[in-house]
Chains A and B, each alone.
Chain A
Amino acid sequence: MLSPDLVGRTFKGADTTTVSAESISNFAAVIGESNLDVAPPTFAISITLDQSQKLLQDSGLDWTRVVHGDQKFEIKRPIVAGDKLVCSSTIESARVMAGNEIVSVRSDLHSGAELVVSTWSTLVVRA
């Protein structure tokens, strides 16, 4: 169980992720995308999921029991190669339903002061 006092707190990632052209082309190749000028719309997850996983594991959540419930992206502008992105994650809610813990995490990717992409993940920790 997550400690209730974690809810609402924002954790700013210590690392800056520099988006490489190779990481975009690898992601694009999997889905058959030939336009490599911008990252595909769900590319942000390759940065934010790792960051929120670290946060939740550090908070005591058993990642091996986690199932992805839903996912949302708000894309202010597409990610492009060369972007230097910092991820900040906020646990927006944590509740228990039918014995399963349901955690909602928002992650924002900023380039300097500019918000580039926001993601929301609902994760279900199976009992």
Chain B
Amino acid sequence: MNNLELGEELAPKTFLINRALLVAYANASGDQNPIHQDEEFAKSVGLPDVIAHGMLTMALAGKYLSEISGSVAITEFSARFTKPVVVPANTDVSLIISGKVAEISDGSAKVEITASCNDVKVLGMAKGVIKLQ
């Protein structure tokens, strides 16, 4: 992966998030917090509806990075969970992820990631470091 250029804007990709995906992620990750599956429980703790696991959003952003470089080249990855991804029943919520090459140094590229749902940014300070080979 040598062809990333400083300042390059990487093509956006849309991921669809629905209730079934939240159940699948809960089972795969072991995070069975009911706020990600049970609408009644989510509302009882003051949430507007079921929300996605922040780590699911981050996992999808990780998939975005993997498509650029392959999973094996990712050496650092970080994000803040700034806004919840609300997932109503029977709805596919679009998560749009894009990236920009912010820095190239020491054989690595730093990619800044933007992740939005309904024009609201759901991750802050999201970035990954890719080892260039």
B63 at the interface (CB under 8 A from A): yes
Tell whether A69 pairs with B71 under 8 Å between CB atoms, given A45-B29, A50-B30: no
User: Which residues of B sit under 8 angstroms from A23, Cβ to Cβ?
Assistant: 28
Is the CB–CB distance between A78 and B56 below 8 Å?
A: no
A93 at the interface (CB under 8 A from B): no
A95 at the interface (CB under 8 A from B): no
A73 at the interface (CB under 8 A from B): yes
A38 at the interface (CB under 8 A from B): yes
Is the CB–CB distance between A40 and B59 below 8 Å?
A: yes
B contact set with A: CB distance below 8 Å = 15, 21, 24-25, 27-31, 45, 54-56, 58-60, 62-63, 65-66, 70-72, 74-81, 125, 128
| Residue in B29, B60, B65, B79 whose CB lies within 8 Å of A70 | B79
Kindly report which residue of chain A lies nearest to residue B41, judged by CB atoms: A64
CB under 8 Å from chain B, chain A span 53-97: 64, 67-76, 78
User: Which residues of B sit under 8 angstroms from A8, Cβ to Cβ?
Assistant: none
Most buried by A among B15, B21, B66: B66
